[in-house]
Structure 1
Amino acid sequence: MSSWLPINHGSAFTFGSTELTFLILFVMVILLVPGHAIFTRFISVLALSAVTYKLQEVFFRLCNNPHWRGFIAPMLCIQLMSASELVLISRVESAPISATSASSIVTRAARTVDLLWNLRRIGTRWQVKNVPIALPSTRAEFVRRRLITTAIAYLILDVIISGPPPPSAPFGPEKRALFQIGSLSQEDIVFRIIGTASYWFSAFLTILIVFNITAIAFVLTGLSSPKNCPPFFGSIKDAYTMRHFWGNLWHQCLRRGLSGHADLMADSILQIPRGTLLSRYTRIFGAFLISGLIHHVNDVAMGVRSADAGSIFFYPLQALGIMIEDGIQALTRRLHVSYSVRRLVGYVWVGVFLAWSTPTLFYPQLRVGTDPGLLLPIHVARPLINYVKAVWQV
């Protein structure tokens, strides 16, 4: 258990106090600094960045589990991005936070922190697009459904990580080729396809488990309600284009921060006129580039050398995929092809593009050789598998 989540009381206290410093500074800026005070707000974002750097430093001393280092370290960057979006781009002030003029400072501070961590901005004027609809339910019904879903996801993930490790040959540095596909053997291609599917399914399950546990805790304690905890992921039926894969199926937690900063870069810094193709694709590439930088922290936290990390390449490639499919759709729009055939071709396209690009992301992580069993604190599948093997040997 100690290898799964080591406890360092000194580092834990330092981490908690540093996070509290971040939250206090953020709340003070939102509630006290007017939105038009751009320079002051910019300086405050620099200060929040310095605190985030310290948070990551302390967290790396606190946690030795590479899987959870890789999961939580980028979350600190996402917290910073959320704060920066609220402070500099949306320029949220005290008035929208206060339900009434009589709201106490504690109430306003709590609402401000809630907005910071409400990454999809559910129930606010800033809510992101394509959030799945929450089914009407009581707290008891919500908790029961999410507990069942979480238990099933946990068991499936446990089965996946309890399997035999993959052979080392198929994911060597030369195997994540993007353009020398002809140099790959049939075994390499099969591993690439299966590995890509397994990677995304495991990522989906891991994120789903963490989100559901958090949502259950917030609903049980009354800090949130079922209507404010809609499903985290969309429908796989929507994943017939790369744009829909990232914009509808996958979680939208980063959408507000990524699009806000990409818009700032294209509109205010580069001053590219809105409505042009250059503006559209600059903002798309900018959003995926920022996402790549955030996920680069995930790679390094998991033990991948910075020079080998693939996130900084993988995520901008997704913008390229969207650009390619936009062009193909524009060229084939007048062809008389049925909607069902277009969707079928779209599903194949998304699968092929992900199988082509994803190895740049997860092959370097596989080469680190981290024990996948460290991902979960309790294992049910592995003892069961060992028992079945023992029975068969008898």
Structure 2
Amino acid sequence: MTTAHQTLQDPLVVNGIQQLFTWILLVATPNRSWLRFVNVSALTAWMFWVYSSENLLSGTEYNENVLYRTLQGCVPLPLVMRTAAALFPPKGPGSRFLDMATAARLTIDPRAVNTPWQVRGIPSFPSYYKSRPPARVPFMLRQTVITIWQCLCLDLVFSQFRAWTSQRAFPASARELGPWDLPPGPWATSGASMLVIALIGRLGFDISYRLVSVVYAGMGVPTEDFPPLFGSIWDAYSLRNLWGNCWHQFMRLPFTATSNAITRHALRLPRSSVLGRYLTIAIVFFLSGLMHFLGAQAANIPFSGAMHFFGLSGLGLLIEITIQGLWDYFALPRPQGIWCKAIGFIWVGLCFSLVAPWYSPEWEYLFSVGAKSAWFLGAFTGKVGVPVAGVVVALSGIIVHKIFETIW
């Protein structure tokens, strides 16, 4: 029997208490309050304790509690950074005390929708909705139907990808990863694998988000609080668009708030300075790599290329920004039309083909050894067969697209 003392030692229980305590401080104390600084310090100390080797690296064998262990490792870092974001509000240190709704959104909603902290890059509601914000019934109906189709699509894609990864040989350490350690063949394989992983990740995130939005809308929460999670994939013709508009913006607030606190408040670099801008981007991608790396450690994955993947992705973005800046500096004519986007997609594809070998084996390994934890994925495809499942997904996808005006 679990005792009260053991329960209080549970990292997730402690994280929940800290989340509640942070929320209370946001409501009861002004911005830049010393109590908030103490809270950030305590959260940081707790994070280092959770990520210590004795808590995360006690074994290298995968176990079916991977979700619990990953949450145990990943909750503290975003909470630390999100709390730090409250110390440096967008309207300056003189803004008022936060109301309960705003404080709750800041600590719970990663994108802080409809608050002064709302992140950039949130997609607008599709034209399907005749009113802004969407009426409750049409919103819930559309979200539900799209979720059902996404579940069928995820079932098909994941079943085939899992079957492929179960036969793969994986590296023993991160040292064996990287483009220069692989012949050209695996480059293409890793690049294609990363596209499938991104598709699976997008489907998984979007399904969860839509289900939550339906539940909350049914409870009376305004639909305007649930704008789309992902932008259109057809806008991913630049790395800036890919990370800033097309992909979800769940971690944009804590990452950018922390990087801005370092560059603008600690180093006092002007907002418009080239050094400040470049350093902000570098810190954001470093933090993203750190969070994903620690998540891999929490899941007992014996290797992780997250730091390399996100670090090199950030470098690619800096190269893109530099080229665009030089292009504008010399007043060169900007290419227009379909050829501009075609070149952009080639650039994005080239970048990912180079950095994918660092990261795709980690997710292939996770899908391979974690198959038992996701037994329900692939059940429909396994029952009716791949050809039938493919036809069902394709036809239903066309119908859903025509009726509900979905855009990828």
Q: TM-score range by the shorter chain?
A: 0.7 to 0.9
Cα gap change, 1:302/1:313 in structure 2, threshold over 3 Å: closer, same or farther?
A: same
Instruction: Give the letter aligned to residue 219 of structure 2.
Output: T
Q: Does 1:29 align with 2:25?
A: yes
Q: Does 1:232 align with 2:229?
A: yes
CA contact (8 A) 1:239 1:249 kept: yes
Query: Which residue number in structure 1 is paired with residue 405 of structure 2?
Result: none
CA contact (8 A) 2:25 2:36 kept: yes
Instruction: Give the letter aligned to residue 339 of structure 1.
Output: G
Higher RCO (CA-CA < 8 Å; seq separation 6+): 2
Deviation at 1:15, TM superposition (A): 5.8
User: Alignment partner of 1:271: what SS?
Assistant: coil
Query: Which residue number in structure 2 is paired with residue 157 of structure 1?
Result: 154
CA contact (8 A) 2:236 2:345 kept: yes
Once the two structures are aligned, what percentage of the paired residues are identical? Answer: 21
TM-score by length of 2: 0.77
User: Alignment partner of 2:179: what SS?
Assistant: coil
Query: Which residue number in structure 2 is paired with residue 372 of structure 1?
Result: 371
Deviation at 1:36, TM superposition (A): 3.8
Structure 2 unpaired stretches of 5+? 390-408
Instruction: Give the letter aligned to residue 26 of structure 2.
Output: I
Deviation at 1:309, TM superposition (A): 1.6
> 92, 107, 110: which is aligned to 1:116?
107
Q: Which moved more, 1:206-215 or 1:333-342?
A: 333-342
Cα gap change, 1:87/1:9 in structure 2, threshold over 3 Å: closer, same or farther?
A: farther
Instruction: Give the letter aligned to residue 178 of structure 2.
Output: A
1:277-326 Cα offsets, whole Å, 9 max, x none, are: 21110000011111111111221123223xx3211221121211111112
Cα gap change, 1:199/1:309 in structure 2, threshold over 3 Å: closer, same or farther?
A: same
Query: Which residue number in structure 1 is paired with residue 78 of structure 2?
Result: 78
CA contact (8 A) 1:155 1:380 kept: yes
- Structure-2 separation of matches of 1:40 and 1:170: 47
Instruction: Give the letter aligned to residue 191 of structure 2.
Output: I
Query: Which residue number in structure 1 is paired with residue 399 of structure 2?
Result: none
- Structure-1 separation of matches of 2:18 and 2:376: 29
Instruction: Give the letter aligned to residue 312 of structure 2.
Output: L
- Structure-1 separation of matches of 2:259 and 2:343: 30
Structure 1 unpaired stretches of 5+? 1-7, 99-107, 390-394
CA contact (8 A) 1:74 1:297 kept: yes
Cα gap change, 1:138/1:88 in structure 2, threshold over 3 Å: closer, same or farther?
A: same
| Superposition CA RMSD, Å | 3.4
- Structure-2 separation of matches of 1:239 and 1:386: 30
Q: Does 1:283 align with 2:284?
A: no
1:341-377 Cα offsets, whole Å, 9 max, x none, are: 1111001111121121122123134346413352364
- Structure-1 separation of matches of 2:192 and 2:67: 21
User: Alignment partner of 2:30: what SS?
Assistant: coil
- Structure-2 separation of matches of 1:290 and 1:82: 13
Instruction: Give the letter aligned to residue 375 of structure 1.
Output: A
- Structure-1 separation of matches of 2:159 and 2:35: 51
Query: Which residue number in structure 1 is paired with residue 239 of structure 2?
Result: 242
- Structure-2 separation of matches of 1:36 and 1:192: 46
